[in-house]
Amino acid sequence: MRTQILNASILARCVVCLAIVGFIPAYGFSQNAANTSGNKFFSSEEQRASSLNASSVQPSETTVLTIDPNILVLRAIHQSVFGPPIACKVFQSSRAYNQQVVVSGEYKANGGGTGQFRYTARVSSGETTLDTIQVSDGRLMYTQVGGNEPPRKVYIEKVREAVGPALAYANDRPEVSMYLAIGGHPELLRNLYHRYLWNKGVEGKLGGVEVWQLVGRLRTEPPKIAGNARMDHEAVAAITPDTKLPEIVRLTLGRSAAMAYFPYMVEYYRRTPNPDDPPDTLEPVSKLWHTDATTSVNLSEKDFVYKVLDTVDRIDDETGLYKPQATISVAGLPFLPLK
């Protein structure tokens, strides 16, 4: 029986689903993903494309963490917002609607709290492809999925205005820097933090790279340190008893001074009960990884320009997803140095 090729409209729906855990179209895991075999899921070509060929840090080279892994994820959010400029290539392989969906693209960000970044990717399934883009000049963020969906925009300046005087405490209060995690790597990490409780971790080397590897499981209650924007509430609300979200995620963060907290890899797993021979089986369902990451990059304002086509007659405003839903009082926030 010949495998059915996804048409453009179904692939577009896959892209939207892939954004549920990740930060942008095709940057995450599909809720409709099917289980796949761990031996067959990632092709040898995809493995060669990754600079971190082995997913797991070797036990003989690891040290168990003495710090709460949740704090490391919070620091990764902060670093992705205020860290140095960065550029990398992006790859992802997932299963959606019983089809394999492959993503390849590029990401570059200006860092330093500017909010400027650009992500472009091609999403492919069989013979069908879809181009996506998300770009921010620090004032407006635009997201475009294919050519048939209306663009979406976020007024980042309005979000900053809503955060107000608390912005001055972004280096000490993780809840504050979280509100600036809009799009790109920052939003990827923001979603991972709110949706998963990080309860295990090791430090070591992976492919010669100094890393932390953290393991999280779906939360059963909201985190104590959390954002109060609508997107933060929705991230937690999606965790229901019958959720199809992957139960386990493994996050690989950079540990070197040059690539501190860089999200090298995100791997999603579904837990399959094994009544005859516990423990349960973990089956991979999606893998996102970055290669050729560098902070030696020259960026200009032109890199973050998005031109709305004259043929566009509607742009959806998603600013309300990101604005805090209550006044932020720094007096009530925990002190946690993030540098």
What pTM, to 2 d.p., does this model score? 0.83
DSSP 145-170: ETTTSPPEEEEHHHHHHHHGGGGGGT
Cβ-in-10-Å burial (0-12, 13-18, 19+) of 237 comes to: exposed
The model's confidence at residue 4, banded by pLDDT at 50, 70 and 90, is very low
Higher-confidence position of 62 and 107: 107
pLDDT attached to residue 21: 40
pLDDT tens for 308-330 read: 877 788 999 999 999 998 877 76
How many CB atoms are located within 10 Å of the residue 222 CB? 15
In degrees to the nearest 10, what's the CA dihedral of 328, 332, 334, 339?
40
With a pLDDT cut of 90, the percent of the chain lying above it is: 50
pLDDT tens for 211-242 read: 999 999 999 988 988 898 999 999 988 888 87
Class in CATH terms, 8-332 = mainly beta
Q: Tell me the two tokens of residue 169.
A: 């405490």
Distance in Å from the first CA to the final CA of the chain:
56
